[in-house]
Amino acid sequence: MAKKKEEIGTQSPTCEWRSRGDTQGGNNTNKIYRHKGACRWSDTRTECYKQKDGGWSDISRNVLIGNSGESAKFHLRYFEIAAGGFSSLEKHRHEHVVICIKGKGKVLTGEKSHMINYLDTVYIAPNTVHQLSNPYDRPFGFFCIVNAARDKPKLIKK
C-alpha cells in the first residue's frame, strides 16, 4: 500500500537551531558590533598581534567575539597585514578558518603557498605549519575563526 505524500514527510528543511539545554554563562548579552568603515567595529580596539616580539611584522588584530566573556565555543577575530607584513610561522593542535575580506594575501599551509582574494575561505587543519603574508601593495584583511579553548602556537624557525 502506497503511503500518502503527507505521511512520508513533506516538511521543508529548516535552518532553525534548537538549544540542547542551558548554554548560558559568561557575559551572554546580545550585542551588535557596528562596522565603522575601514574594517573597524564599534566597541572593539585594535591590538598588537601578539604580546611578545617574534617572527612577524606589520600585523594587527581586533577581537569581535571572545574578549567579553561570551560562552561561544569559538572566537572571531579580524587581522590586518600591511603591505610587506606577515604573521608568525607556526603550528598548533587547534584548527581555524580564515576568510579574506580586504585586499588579497598569501597563505602558506605545509609547504604550499596560495594566493587568496576577497571572500576566499581557508580551512587550516590541526598541526599544519602555516603563515599568512601580504606581498602586495594594499592591506590584506581577514576574519579568523578559532576554537575558544585552544593550545598555544609553537613558533617554527625557518
Per-residue 3-state assignment (H helix, E strand, C coil) for 77-142: EEEEEEEEEECCCEECCCCEEEEEEECCEEEEECCEEEEECCCCEEEECCCCCEEEECCCCCCEEE
> Has this prediction a pTM greater than 0.75?
yes
pLDDT in tens, 85-107: 999 999 999 999 999 999 999 99
144 catalytic? Reply is yes
Tally of CB atoms within 10 A around 98:
21
In eight-state DSSP terms, residue 6 is H
141 pLDDT exceeds 50? yes
Q: Does domain 52-158 fall into CATH 2.30.40.10?
A: no
Which one is catalytic: 39, 48, 100, 144? 144
Q: What pLDDT, in 10s, does the model give residues 20-57?
A: 334 445 567 888 999 999 999 998 888 888 766 668 88
Domain ranges of the chain: 52-158
